[in-house]
Amino acid sequence: MSPAQFTKESASTGEFKRQGNRFTGRISPESTSAPGEGPDEHGRWPLEPGRYRLVVSLACPWAHRAIIVRKLLGLEDAISLAIVDPIRDQLGWRFTLDPGGQDPVLGISYLSEAYLATDPEYDGRVTVPAIVDTVSGLVVTNDYPQITLDLSTEWKDFHRPGAPRLIPAQREEMDQLISEIFEDVNNGVYRCGFATSQEAYEAAYDALFARLDLLEQRLAERDYLLGDNLSEVDIRLFTTLVRFDAVYHGHFKTNRQKLTEFPNLWEYARRLYQQPGFGETVNFDQIKRHYYVTHDNINPTGIVPKGPDPAVWTA
């Protein structure tokens, strides 16, 4: 077997096993804590616009979800945004894009500083997105699947007028799709790319393209995954699709075909890209530099591909 990119997340069979989310606090209007206080006995932080900071990487698909949802719902003034450098070093995500190499609000140079302030014994991978409390400097949550759902439900009093309803009435159907897409597509591309055995890679590859084939069929007669309206599951699929040809197809060896060779998925992804909140939040330069420079076991030369041409998304 080849060396693992993330040793702690590699099984003996060569499968990539993504780590769990260490911080799972939630910001809620139901919190019994007073303004400025920490979480209540149920782990609920008080809902206070302007208090919390969403830390993201523009390269990361999990963080990209939160960026899109925050923008679509008009929560820019309620929750501030911090963007880390796309190149992650041994100490993790860095605030080198800010003057002086520190986040101007949190006053830290590395996101790991907030992680360790919250749990001094933490020895896992530092991940984005993370929501950090600006009062205490502690991490509220790095639970990326829940973060976007809570932006829709817990923060609804601060949504812009006319904001889309991203959690539809057919919640059970959406949750099932979310689960399938996470397993085979969102995380499936990583299971291909971070596999350390041929068998693990091929199993993930087969599951990925079997799911993409089903999604291709599903989108043959509908604009969105659940019909006529945009929902949370579309955002979760989009952030993988928009990275597919640029990084996953080559870097992660998901090369049966490109996204542009799926007629329905490609039309769907381009349509989303051209909507407010989607294409404007995509940064192909940071996406490519992160994957091709950071994963040195997969791409030891650190050479970043020049293509593909991003103009295809708007042509």
Kindly state whether residues 109 and 233 are assigned to the same domain: no
Q: Are residues 27 and 109 both part of a single domain? A: yes
| pTM as predicted | 0.96
48 — pLDDT class (breaks 50, 70, 90): very high
In terms of domains, do 117 and 243 share one? no
Residues pairing with 44 in the sheet: 26
High-pLDDT (> 70) share of the chain, %: 97
Q: Tell me whether residue 4 is in a domain.
A: no
Same domain for 222 and 300, yes or no, is yes
Residues 291 and 202 in one domain: yes
pLDDT at 14: 82
Grade residue 4 by pLDDT with cuts at 50, 70 and 90.
low
- CATH code, 99: 3.40.30.10
pLDDT in tens, 127-159: 999 999 999 999 999 999 999 999 999 999 999
- Is 11 contained in some domain? no
CA distance 103 to 109: 6
pLDDT attached to residue 271: 98
Domain boundary among 158, 192, 207: 158
- Residue 207 inside a domain? The answer is yes
Q: Which of 99, 125, 158 is the last residue of a domain?
A: 158
Structure tokens at 166: 């991203």
pLDDT of residue 301: 97
Co-location of 195 and 143 in the same domain: no
**For residue 215, what are the domain limits?**
171-313
Percentage of the chain lying above the pLDDT 90 cut: 90
Q: Tell me if 2 is assigned to some domain.
A: no
Same domain, 121 and 229: no
pLDDT of amino acid 12: 75
- What does the pLDDT read at residue 5? 66
Q: Are residues 302 and 188 in the same domain?
A: yes
In a domain, 12, yes or no: no
| 97 in any annotated domain | yes
Please state, in angstroms and rounded to a whole number, the distance separating the CA atoms of residues 226 and 170.
Answer: 8
Clarify whether residues 189 and 86 are in a common domain.
Answer: no
pLDDT, one tens digit per residue, over 275-303 is 999 999 999 999 999 999 999 999 999 99
Q: Which of 92, 127, 158 is the last residue of a domain?
A: 158
243 in a domain, yes or no?
yes
Catalytic residues, by residue number, are 60, 190
Which of 148, 123, 114, 128 minimizes the C-alpha distance to 26? 148
Mean residue pLDDT across the chain? 95
More confident residue, 12 or 118: 118
pLDDT digits (tens, 9 = 90+) for 193-223: 999 999 999 999 999 999 999 999 999 999 9
Residue-wise pLDDT for 73-129, tens only, equals 999 999 999 999 999 877 789 999 888 999 999 999 999 999 999 999 999 999 999
Structural domains counted in the chain: 2
Q: Is residue 143 part of a domain?
A: yes
Reported residue count of the chain is 315
For residues 96 and 176, membership in a common domain is answered with no
Same domain, 254 and 135: no
Q: Which CATH number goes with the domain that contains 252? A: 1.20.1050.10
Task: Give the model's pLDDT for residue 303.
Answer: 98
Q: What is the pLDDT of residue 20?
A: 81
User: Region 152-168: what's the mean pLDDT?
Assistant: 98
pLDDT band at 72 (very low <50, low <70, confident <90, very high): very high
Confidence of residue 18 (pLDDT cuts 50, 70, 90): confident
The pLDDT confidence band at residue 263, using thresholds 50, 70 and 90, is very high
What's the confidence (pLDDT) of residue 7?
63
Query: Does residue 224 share a domain with residue 138?
Result: no
Burial of 40 (0-12, 13-18, 19+ CB in 10 A): middle
